[in-house]
Structure 1
């Protein structure tokens, strides 16, 4: 019998039995369809939901409910400005707590705190057991950070015991932000007395311990959080930083690696792991950690840091390539441009280095280090007049600029001109830094150019063996001095160190051989 009745109903609803719809009925059908389409889009987090709600409102322009949905959707999308035309959705005598909750959230987003408070209080009066309204109101009060807000929170805790733990935690946060740490701890303790495993209260207590330098208590709190499953990149990273502070490097690294596993791009974690790897001399891993940071593509300094690690890995071309990419990616960034200019100088690309450094000096004329690097580029380009102008400017600003004095002296010595003047500059540089091997080399080279090889040799003998092994130019100069003194056998040892890098050393080596 049931089957027959169902068949009969279907027959009545089928096109063959359909009655013609009135204009009013068709309008209502369009309204319902538009509304349902918008609601389904909202539930599916469809980007088109706001536009669909607007279409629904056009068909039902007096619908306060659709206006409320539009306001809520605008807030959900982080675009409160879109809600303004629909903000009149709630009448002053509304008895719907949802109206006042949405209106409160809207006013809060606009920064109208008093209006937001009034709206939430009306919502709570209408729905005193609605935990969502209470939570939003408590969040608003917590964000205010005032003692008046804290007092209101404590009243709410007495009135709504089911949410007391959350409310006491919010009060603790207010006291913590105002640096009243004892009161903050008291309210976190109250929250934990109500709910012994309340993670937000435990985290708040850990923060107070951190700010009051009670690091072992802080670590204990965070370890307890980890035990109950509330470990996160943020907490692991903070634990790692504390272990780093107390110089327990293995534990610090362990927790930073946990943080990285939880959030590979966590910025503090990447920084500290790179620092630890750098201390270990593991520059490849340090570079990898910096590249993994979430802000790497927006942070010019981190590209410079990676280039430094690549330089330490003896990969100058990769280091230069990284700086070249950063120079394109961060136009106008002075730090990147400066280090790019330095790297170009090191790579003997003096023309490009001069162009880059000149641009830096155009906008930063007082950048002494950039001017010094520009001078090195000009020396490499043999633009001696411009070089001397830059060096005189640097020495004029700081008569004890040893690097500028030394470059001036060495450039004159290499050209074999004004050697007495060169000797004066070199002596001034050595007076500032008497142990600097490159300054000693410059003075010795001037003596050599002045045909005083004995004096040159005396200076070179003050340098240790490692200096000659590490610096081909200094090794070549000493070799040339020894050849001039007729000590070919001894000279070969130093020329051998230099001949693969310096053509003049190779030529002299072959000559005496």
Structure 2
């Protein structure tokens, strides 16, 4: 919520980047780049952030020095509050074209959102040099100086503004606010009241106080501001922020909900806030809060595809899959040009085992996005689950050909290929696919674990398997499937003492007994010479639902069988 807590309220309004300026920088002799660039512009007009980023990213994969594409991607990053990525892309564009003031304006806006005051100061100096007749840059520079406790320098900047542009109400107000910055916190409310300050000025003063860490004083200012303009959503967002800072989560949520209930608050801002809460969606209170915010959003925008898609995502997160499917479908009926909605719908069908539906929806999506690699992966997965292995392999090849730059997708595709080849009993090619999967994404611990288990089952390349399993287990010791696999590989290497340590980690992490893990535990104990305890673990494995014939034989004959 940077637009609320940031105290730089005298910000310039970034001039719309003229389309002719953007196009001119993309005039390179490449039909593919031109087509992708204009496709990105079309998606931009439709407010389709994901498709916009996708097209401009593809431009950059062909032409890394395309400054206009970097600029467009940075704008989307900023809108989605991806400030690290926004900074990287905007800075790259500005470095390529240091005389382009639009790139610098965007970079300044990003630094404001990130509260990166020192970097902002440097950009403002460049803007003033490029466009010395723009008063807004000077006011912003003075604000930066105030934030960095350079009051005398700020006064000098205000004097320079007066000398260059003459006296004005805006300048007088700015000087008054500078004085407020030096006023004791307890006196600010009285000062604002006596001057009949506007809501904007109360917000500015609250921002100053929050910047100083005077959150209780900021709260007093905002509580005075709220009655002045109860429909100002920025006041309620600021209240939510300050309540959060002083450790009052209930009041913080109530203020946030009040902001959401104001229809003037932009839909994109609401979507962004709910999205930012996803990672914190644990516990009943957090879930109830997100549900409440999303319900307000959907009630106000019942036919907006973004609102419906967000609601579907929230439902999906709560594992309310049937309801999520319905909302994804409603969103697509209104606008079928948002790829993430197609992805959500297909993923939900696959997750709940509706593989034939997933195949149907994948084919529909491919008519809209014929070059989207992940769709071929989803289609291949559904075909694999419906026992159409040869078609699945063809679509994996398509996914790999189209997603060559997406190493995570490539890794998943090779891992799926390995599963299919195992079912076809083509074990040699399956091993090669697993190796390639790990190569594509060497920190994907799930894939490493699958590869290690496959090798261990075949007693093949056990040193490689142990390397994979150890890396995964040390990174994710809380994951029982991973630690069990490491124990299994160590068992296969006849390192029984080490295997016992890791199988105990696996069993302890599991809240309920797992028949496979317990069988492995018994196998390890048997080779450590503790036959009685081995038999007990095998019996527990059977009681936990493991009905393998080999386990039954181990129990009946009280000895290990491979």
TM-score scaled by length of structure 2: 0.45
Larger radius of gyration: 1
Higher RCO, Cα 8 Å, sep 6+: 2
TM (norm. structure 1) is 0.49
